[in-house]
Amino acid sequence: MIARSLRLLLAAALLATGLVPLTAAPAAAADPVCALHCDTLDPSQAQQDTFPVPEKNLNGRVIRLHVSQPDTMAWASIDDATSGNAVWLDRSWDAGATWEPVLGKATVPDSRTGTRTLMYNITDPRTHRRGWIRACGDAAGVGCTAWFRPGVCDELCDGADPADAAGDDQPVPATTLFGRTIRLHADHANAMAWASIEDGGQGDEVWLDRSWNKGSSWPDGSSLGRTSVAAGATAARSTMHATRDPAGLLYGGAVRACGKEASHQEGSCTAWVRPVPTRARAAADALMWSYDPRDAWWPRSWWNSAATLTALTEFARRTGTQDYDWAIARTFEVNRGTFAPGERSTDAVEGHFRSRAIDDTAWWGLTWLAAYDHTGERRYLDEAVTIAEYVHGYWDPGSCGGGVWWDRERTYKNAVTSGLYLRLTAELHRRLDGDAVWGERARTAGEWFLSSGMINAAGLVNDGLTGDCRNNGQTVWSYNQGLAIGGLLELWRGTGETRMLDAAKRLADAALARPELTRDGVLTESCDTGTRTCDDNQKQFKGVFMRYFADLAAATGSTTYRDYADRQADSLWTTDRDHLNDLGQRWAGTAPNQQDWRTQASALEALTAAAR
């Protein structure tokens, strides 16, 4: 590890001078990188034009590197040139060991004296990398500017003094090496970290490694703040470094403390850790690690991506952060078109987030209403209306007196689709000035849901109805219970009818009291018990429940509901979290546990609920 660190330090030093290590080589062509935008954006759309490194004079031609930090993109230009001269970008992800050459190469045309490339990204959140970039030209010889790499800043910037830390926590055990003690320190409030070495001697060294990739790689963060123990001293500490890079769209960076004794080459490091600004912020940052900005979703789950973006948006709205607004906008812009079967869902997506799965479509309607509430942008509200009109087309009073069909083939009337419709219509009524249509639809949906038979004698919502319109007795899932609570609560807000609020409270009380949903005070899905595991859909159910249960707690001021929400957050945080703030399916921390971005989004909703 030490030898690797030294190689990267040498490479970085050479990059700073504009030189390239002799061992470096062009990298293979890669897929376009997407962040706020994808590679090859026209510079006319840049939000900013800065020149972070000196221009390069090449045989009288001027080669410049241009950077727009708000776009996290760069381009190159050549001026005072002649026909046939060329300019391009080189981009490296590994301190110059390899690089992507001749990006966007542009040749000066006849009768012109200059040209420029298109824009390319300097950061790649999809693969968790920060890059270096330079401008190069060919004019009777090849020359390049110095390499540029953006700094990392959040509340504080890389290189800050630990004396400025808001706190000093040691989140993982120290490591020892030849009698030295190496510690990792975290300023959780500012998402900063530093390293220290104790019981050492002159020439001992200590530093931080930072990884944007959960510790799998760290070419951008090797040997940060490397510091030696001075003569006559026995201890030293590094400078502080940030673990969030909002400008680079990278969140939840992991750090570890490393050190070596002066007379040996071996090094030793602590475990990797992500700091915890707040519980919910830490969960949101870890969730963003799985977001794919190229395809603008959380991969391979269409409705889960909708529910996850809603969870993230609700967190942003509750806390006032705008850090993730770019992901909301990009998801909307990339995904409102059409997609063939298998690209987003097993079904075709037919534009405006619509497909044959009516429930999948309705989840996206709630997503864009949450986005409207957070941003105030009318386009999100308009999209929700378009989606709701489509869903309304499957409300069918000719079967079971009402309810929404689960699919286009009209095979099943179930709790989730009708619960989504109820909440969607009730939310639209309260957000559209002068509305009468959606309010009446919401009232009809609420009345039907209460009389449908899907709510059993224990006050729990079963999965749906049989073909002859009776409760089918299938599994009680938390998200069905939550959607019914949320729909009735929103209907009460729109109509003032207290019986709707009372019905929502009865459903909430049943969820807290019955072992089908709560065990030992912890929200528990039936697939959380024994040796069972939950499928990808079920992994997200509890978060949906907590979203609407917390809404009810806030509306009623109930200390019972408030305490229950707090208990979920405390349990999952203390028993269901690792050092990287990844959160699992079982909020009581039992095994076998499952952990992915769906369980992360579900837990985020519980942590957001407790943060209100």
Model confidence pLDDT, tens digit, residues 60-100: 999 999 999 999 999 999 999 999 999 999 999 988 789 99
Given a cut of 70, whether residue 2 has pLDDT beyond it is no
Q: What is the mean pLDDT of the chain?
A: 94
Mean pLDDT of the 351-379 span: 98
Give the tens place of pLDDT for each residue, 245-257: 999 999 999 999 9
Helix axes 415-431, 437-451, angle to 10 degrees: 150
The pLDDT value recorded for residue 95 is 80
| Residues 386-397, mean pLDDT to the nearest whole number | 98
How is residue 110 written in tokens? 């006849």
pLDDT digits (tens, 9 = 90+) for 191-219: 999 999 999 999 999 999 999 999 999 98
For residue 104, what are the CA distances in angstroms to 31, 121, 451? 14, 12, 63
* Residue 530 CB neighbours (<10 A): 9
CB 419 within 8 A of CB 490: no
Domains of the chain: 30-144 (2.60.40), 162-269 (no CATH), 517-611 (no CATH)
Structure tokens at 308: 């996850």
Query: Dihedral, CA atoms, 58, 62, 65, 66, nearest 10 degrees?
Result: -170
Q: What pLDDT does 413 receive?
A: 98
The reported pLDDT for the residue numbered 26 is 60
pLDDT digits (tens, 9 = 90+) for 142-161: 999 999 999 999 999 999 99
pLDDT at 137 over 80: yes
- In the chain, what percentage of residues exceed pLDDT 70? 95
Interval 341-355: pLDDT, tens: 999 999 999 999 999
Residue 13 has pLDDT above 70, yes or no: no
Nearest to 419 by CA among 446, 391, 389, 456: 446
Place of tokens 């909002």: 246
Q: Which two tokens stand for residue 386?
A: 């378009």
- Residue 20: pLDDT over 80: no
pTM for the structure as a whole? 0.93
In this prediction, residues 464-468 reach a mean pLDDT of: 97
Please report the pLDDT score of residue 30 as a whole number: 65
Residue 22 has pLDDT above 60, yes or no: no
Q: Give me the percent of the chain exceeding a pLDDT of 90.
A: 93
Place of tokens 């939000």: 47
d(CA 597, CA 592): 17
Spatial CA neighbour of 474 closest among 429, 415, 419, 528: 415
Buried b (16+ CB within 10 A) or exposed e, 136-166: bbbbeeebbbbbbbbebbbebebebebeebe
Helix (H) or strand (E) holding 180: strand 180-187
CB neighbourhood size of 546 (10 A): 30
Q: Which two tokens stand for residue 535?
A: 């499928």
Beta bridge partners of 573: none
SS3 content of the chain, % helix, strand, coil (to 5): 35, 20, 40
Q: What is the CA radius of gyration of the chain?
A: 28
pLDDT at residue 1, rounded to an integer: 42
Burial class (CB in 10 A: 0-12, 13-18, 19+), 450: middle
- How far, CA to CA in Å, does 172 sit from each of 175, 357, 501? 9, 46, 46
